[in-house]
């Protein structure tokens, strides 16, 4: 009964969004040079490159370095035939292929396309000029900041080989541009798919893009303004005024001209490039359509350098990879819907800073989760697993990381990254909508998912290859992100981060962490036979530095650090004669411990809300089968769960009628890294432990002080019993509807029957039931903040010490 945001809409109304006919546009060949003469930078050369240092840690690590450490290559996928046959063209057109749009065959259009219907379009790139080299002034502040970022990297390489350092920096810069600008045709998804559950195309618009909203976008929506832009006016058709012609004024939302609106006779009645302003043009998406790069979720405020005004940040206030903790991101697509719309109620189950990654490729389970905090991926653990090549079908061992919350996307970084682009709208109609169940069907093939096929996708959707050609560059950028440290932070009022930590308690907190936490939350992996022996764990981690080498001395008392035994066992002189912790000199640890081992743990041991662990899109026969390893699909069953009658059924709903065994890979949660945990509260995979602090006017508190408040309150709740019979205990959190709604029996909200759902009903009652198997709940778990009872029995003194220790990480 959960709305499935994954269908085309048969009729979008009178407005033609982007129905470009094939005879009007030339489809580029792989020998063509794409014309960029129509592109320009209005402020070219106005932005100087700063060399101001960062407080946030960056890592001068390259993909070559990771290969030498046997971390790369990840996965066995080597690209599609289309990509490999034209690699040179994709590289020459790197910036021209960051975005694309459909060109419809004659006689077809978005209005005539039916859900799961034939493909009647091709793609053309949306050209974008490459930025000039970093030794020149830049056309935007974004580009100047990109140069500042990469120029701070690879100083050691530059000293020996300047040309190599330049090449490494250019690759990182390209990867950063993919992260901020790569949309690959995904602007179609909201208008063609989300509209079906929103109540029509006229409900899919972005009222917050109106430039008159600029001064309250963060306060009101949690959205982050592009620092380069300023408020526009009638001359800009009430869009922000930006030096980048494709910036909407909001980071993570790229604008491209819509196609001309035509009347029934084919006459153009609105040309987005020249027509005067219309009051209804934003609501009808007549001027621009909006694409969505990865930073729509991942850009957030630098915890160590918060903005003076969160509605007016500078580039120095932003981190591209920490994640936006302050936004219910999917709701941004549905601001035009009625408050009683089912989709708005469904999205209420997602707390700020979370997104349900199966929202489009629906698994019919309520399971929003936090965005991955991308820090020190160079230190993330790799595993060897059996994989199946999606092009050749060959079975082969390969290295992988456990990317998603349950360890899914376990086929290497390249496919894991591309799947994210698919998940945010790239190639939706060609590659995965045909594999969704059909609303209202209860039996046969169309009543369940079928697998997405990568080989077919690349053949039918050219943007797959546009993106695939850039994943190495993107990875080179992501691995340069490091942690953000409280001791380097300065609050917006000038208060240093050191004020918020009691360093005298840190050494004791480190001992507590070693005994109680490190068996899961350390990349120095303890042997299995000692993990339940806390004394043995204390000995195993003796002398180990969990945090940064910059602050390592705070982890030990003066007596410990200066003892001859400690120096002999754990210290060593480097090549310059400096005495340093041995683990850094010998490069057993690069920068710092990852603070996680990424091993999967059965959900019933962790005890958190089970619905994310039961996510099954990566099972054999399900839509993302090709994005999980064979070892993932053959995991040992973690146990059984109750089979419960659908809670929407009157009287008997919620009654247990049996048990089912979990098979095929789900049922596990990987532990998370605790890097910069002081800055990323609330806690758990769904941000349900603790609450995000707000200022008196409702604006999320982004200050260092505010983050510490959130951390301390979340920590206290985390180390509290979740048993209502125990005092004190966590107050149970269950997301509920905030208004009466009418719920259809189909996921697209079609059909004649509408069930009344009263205000205050747990949202999980209808978001965790499969309309194609409506008798029972697919997952039955209402409480969102339970579980993780590790450390609950610690003494108050040990809890306090542990809390202060974690602030150092």
DSSP labels, 283-294: TTT-SEEEE--T
Can you tell me the distance from the alpha carbon of 255 to that of 247, in angstroms, rounded to the nearest whole number?
Answer: 6
Q: So what's the pLDDT on residue 15?
A: 37
Confidence band of 348 (pLDDT split at 50, 70, 90): confident
- pLDDT band for position 28 (cuts 50, 70, 90): confident
Percent of the chain with pLDDT over 90: 83
CA distance to 141, 151, 367, 473, per residue, from 135 (Å): 15, 10, 46, 20
Alpha carbon distance 71, 401 (integer Å): 10
Lowest mean pLDDT among 3-12, 156-165, 621-630: 3-12
Average pLDDT over residues 663-675: 96
Give yes or no for residue 39 having a pLDDT over 90.
no
pLDDT digits (tens, 9 = 90+) for 102-134: 999 988 888 788 888 999 999 999 999 999 999
Structure confidence at residue 20 (pLDDT) = 54
pLDDT of res. 476: 98
Mean pLDDT score, 476-505 = 97
What Rg, from alpha-carbon coordinates, does the chain have?
Answer: 26
pLDDT at 222 over 90: yes
Rounded distance between C-alpha atoms, residue 667 and residue 601, angstroms: 8
Decide if pLDDT at 6 tops 80: no
Lowest mean pLDDT among 49-58, 276-285, 360-369: 360-369
541: left (phi over 0), alpha (psi -120 to 50) or beta: alpha
Q: Which of 233, 424, 361, 324 lies closest to 618 in space, CA to CA?
A: 361
Q: Which residues contact 467 (CB under 8 A, 6 or more apart)?
A: 182, 184, 418, 421, 426
* pTM for the model: 0.95
* Mode of pairing for the β-strands spanning 600-602 and 668-670: antiparallel
Q: Is the pLDDT of residue 374 over 50?
A: yes
With 80 as the cut, is the pLDDT of residue 420 above it?
yes
Is residue 115 within 8 Å of 433, Cβ to Cβ?
A: yes
Cα–Cα distance, 700 to 636 (Å, whole number): 42
Q: Please, which pLDDT band fits residue 668 given cuts at 50, 70 and 90? A: very high
Supply the DSSP symbol for 173: H
pLDDT score, position 497: 98
Is the per-residue pLDDT at 541 higher than 80? yes
The CA distance from 763 to 735, in Å, is 6
What pLDDT was estimated at residue 21? 54
Per-residue confidence (pLDDT) for residue 24, from 0 to 100 = 59
Residue 755: strand pairing partners: 743
Q: Percent of the chain scored above 70 by pLDDT?
A: 97
pLDDT-derived band at 13 (thresholds 50, 70, 90) equals very low
State yes or no: pLDDT of 617 exceeds 80: yes
Which residues in 474-487 are b (16+ Cβ under 10 Å) and which e? bbbbbbbbbbbbbb
């Amino acid at each position: 009964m959960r709305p499935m945001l994954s269908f085309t809409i048969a009729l979008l109304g009178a407005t033609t969004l982007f129905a470009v006919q094939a005879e009007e546009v030339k489809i580029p060949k792989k020998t063509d040079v794409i014309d960029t003469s129509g592109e320009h930078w209005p402020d070219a050369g106005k932005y100087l490159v700063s060399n101001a240092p960062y407080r946030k840690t960056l890592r001068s690590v390259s993909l070559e370095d990771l290969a030498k450490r046997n971390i790369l290559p990840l996965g066995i996928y080597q690209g599609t035939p289309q990509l490999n046959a034209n690699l040179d063209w994709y590289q020459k057109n790197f910036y021209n292929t960051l975005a694309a749009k459909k060109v419809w065959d004659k006689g077809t259009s978005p209005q005539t396309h039916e859900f799961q219907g034939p493909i009647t379009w091709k793609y053309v790139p949306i050209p974008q000029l490459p930025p000039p080299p970093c030794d020149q002034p830049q056309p935007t502040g974004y580009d100047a900041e990109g140069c500042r970022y990469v120029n701070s990297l690879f100083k050691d390489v530059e000293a020996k080989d300047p040309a190599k350092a330049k090449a490494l920096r250019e690759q990182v810069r390209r990867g950063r541009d993919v992260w901020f600008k790569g949309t690959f045709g995904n602007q179609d998804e909201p208008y063609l798919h989300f509209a079906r559950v929103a109540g029509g195309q006229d409900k899919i618009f972005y009222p917050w893009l109106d430039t008159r909203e600029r001064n309250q976008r963060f306060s009101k929506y949690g959205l982050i303004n592009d620092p380069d832009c300023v408020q526009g006016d009638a001359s800009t058709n009430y869009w922000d005024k930006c030096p980048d012609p494709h910036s909407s004024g909001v980071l993570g939302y790229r604008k491209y001209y819509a196609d001309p609106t035509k009347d029934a006779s084919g006459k153009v009645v609105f040309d987005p490039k020249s027509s005067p302003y219309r009051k209804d043009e934003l609501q009808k998406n007549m001027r621009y359509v909006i694409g969505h790069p990865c930073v729509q979720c991942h850009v957030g405020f630098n915890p160590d350098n918060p903005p003076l005004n969160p509605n007016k940040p500078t580039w120095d206030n932003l981190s591209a990879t920490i994640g936006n903790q302050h936004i219910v991101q999917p709701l941004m697509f549905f601001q035009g819907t009625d408050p009683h719309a089912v989709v708005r109620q469904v999205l209420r189950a997602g707390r700020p800073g979370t997104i349900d990654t199966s929202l489009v490729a629906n698994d019919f389970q309520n399971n929003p989760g936090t965005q991955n905090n991308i820090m020190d991926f160079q230190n993330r653990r790799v595993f060897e697993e059996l994989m199946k090549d999606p092009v050749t079908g060959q079975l082969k061992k390969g290295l992988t990381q456990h990317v998603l919350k349950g360890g899914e996307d376990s086929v290497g970084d390249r496919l894991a990254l591309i799947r994210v682009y698919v998940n945010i709208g790239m190639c939706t109609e060609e590659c995965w909508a045909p594999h969704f169940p059909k609303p209202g069907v209860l039996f046969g093939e169309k009543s369940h998912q079928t697998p997405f096929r990568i080989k077919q996708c690349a053949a039918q959707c050219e943007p797959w290859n546009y993106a695939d050609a850039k994943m190495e560059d993107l990875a080179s950028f992501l691995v340069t992100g490091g942690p953000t440290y409280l001791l380097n932070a300065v609050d917006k009022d000038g208060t240093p981060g050191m004020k918020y930590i009691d360093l005298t308690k840190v050494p004791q907190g480190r001992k507590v962490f070693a005994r109680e936490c490190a068996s899961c939350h350390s990349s120095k992996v303890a042997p299995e036979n000692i993990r339940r022996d806390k004394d043995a764990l204390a000995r195993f981690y003796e002398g180990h530095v969990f945090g940064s080498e910059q602050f390592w001395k705070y982890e030990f008392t003066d007596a410990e650090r200066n003892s001859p035994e400690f120096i002999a066992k754990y210290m060593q002189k480097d090549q310059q004669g400096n005495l340093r912790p041995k683990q850094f000199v010998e490069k057993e640890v690069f920068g710092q411990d990852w603070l996680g081992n990424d091993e999967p743990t059965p959900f019933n041991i962790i005890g958190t809300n089970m619905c994310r662990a039961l996510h099954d899109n990566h099972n054999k026969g399900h839509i993302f089968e090709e994005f999980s390893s064979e070892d993932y699909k053959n995991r040992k069953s973690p146990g059984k769960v109750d089979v419960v009658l659908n809670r929407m059924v009157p009287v008997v709903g919620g009654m247990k009628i049996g048990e089912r065994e979990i098979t095929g890979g789900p049922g596990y949660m990987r532990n998370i890294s605790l890097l910069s945990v002081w800055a990323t509260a609330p806690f758990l995979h769904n941000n349900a432990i603790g609450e995000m602090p707000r200022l008196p006017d409702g604006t999320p508190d982004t200050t260092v002080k505010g983050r510490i408040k959130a951390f301390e309150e979340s920590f206290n709740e985390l180390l509290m019993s979740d048993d209502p019979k125990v005092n004190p205990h966590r107050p149970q959190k269950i997301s509920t509807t905030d208004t009466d709604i009418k719920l259809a029996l189909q996921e697209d909200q079609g059909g004649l029957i509408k069930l009344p759902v009263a205000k205050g009903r747990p949202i999980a009652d209808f978001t965790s039931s499969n309309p194609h198997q409506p008798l029972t709940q697919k997952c039955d778990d209402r409480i969102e903040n339970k579980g993780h009872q590790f450390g609950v029995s610690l003494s108050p003194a040990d809890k306090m010490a542990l809390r202060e220790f974690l602030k150092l990480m």
